[in-house]
Amino acid sequence: MTRPRPDSPTLFELPVRPDFTLEREAMRDGRLPVAGTDEAGRGPLAGPVVAAAVILDPDSIPDGLDDSKRLDAGARERVFADILSHAVAVSFASVSALSIDAADIRKASLEAMRRSVATLCVQPLMVLADGRDVPPGLICLGRAIVKGDQRSQSIAAASIVAKVVRDRMMARAGACDLRYGFEVHMGYATERHRTAISAHGPASRLHRLSFAPFRLAEPVG
């Protein structure tokens, strides 16, 4: 199967903040509604990868939409609330650490994106997906957008939803298991996290044993 050719901008072509240009192009082609999808959590040592899909209302786009990595936690929470209040449809899905280990993080991320699109309450006619790959099995036409969360407001909205939802999941995991500090580092490979892993080993069902430093070591606890 031939990989869809991504829409790859140069550094100087990126807008200062994402806009609605790509969505309006799709709308002019008769592909309305347009959904954006993105994931959060590809890099951590623990927790699920979470994806979201968002269909924005062209007449009521929330202020402050941007790549979730360029917003602090407070700003993400504020924009997240606005997205839920004003979007036509919002959905999210996750793929667990166990499933990540059974496949790989790329496939798991794409599957989470597919699931998030499939569970939207409004079916899109076009999906703009962050990255180099269109998630396999979409219910409609898809387009891969490199650095999409910095170009498309729909993808930026999805990136914010995915990040906020995943952070809340990891905060809950931290409250249930006090050994690792998940609520602080969200599963990323910080010094505190690595020190806790050295002391306690990996947590069952939470740590990704296919990632270094585990390499399929036996979980404990």
Signed CA dihedral, 163, 164, 170, 173: sign only:
negative
Q: Residue range 84-110: average pLDDT?
A: 97
Q: Name the residue type at position 78.
A: R
Task: Output the six-digit token pair for 206.
Answer: 């939470």
**Confidence (pLDDT) at 12:** 52
Does residue 8 have a pLDDT over 90? no
Say if residues 21 and 184 touch (Cβ distance below 8 Å): no
Q: What percent of the chain has pLDDT over 90?
A: 88
Provide the pLDDT confidence category of residue 81 given band limits of 50, 70 and 90.
very high
**HEC-encoded secondary structure of the chain:** CCCCCCECCCHHHCCCCCECHHHHHHHHCCCCCEEEEEEECCCCCECCEEEEEEECCCCCCCCCCCCHHHCCHHHHHHHHHHHHHHCCEEEEEEECHHHHHHCCHHHHHHHHHHHHHHCCCCCCCEEEEECCCCCCCCCCEEEEECCHHHCEHHHHHHHHHHHHHHHHHHHHHHHHCCCCCHHHHCCCCCHHHHHHHHHHCCECCCECCCCCCCCCCCCEC
Structurally, at CATH architecture level, domain 11-200 sits in: 2-Layer Sandwich (3.30)
**Confidence (pLDDT) at 5:** 52
**Confidence (pLDDT) at 215:** 73
**Cβ atoms within 10 A of the Cβ of 1, count?**
4
Q: Write the pLDDT tens digit of every residue in 108-118.
A: 999 999 999 99
Q: Name the residue type at position 149.
A: D
From CA 155, how far away is CA 172, in angstroms rounded? 26
Q: Write the pLDDT tens digit of every residue in 120-177.
A: 999 999 999 999 999 999 999 999 999 999 999 999 999 999 999 999 999 999 999 9
Say if residues 36 and 53 touch (Cβ distance below 8 Å): yes
**Confidence (pLDDT) at 163:** 98
Does residue 4 have a pLDDT over 60? no
Q: Write the pLDDT tens digit of every residue in 22-45.
A: 999 999 999 999 999 999 999 999
**Confidence (pLDDT) at 1:** 43
**Confidence (pLDDT) at 155:** 98
Provide the pLDDT confidence category of residue 213 given band limits of 50, 70 and 90.
confident
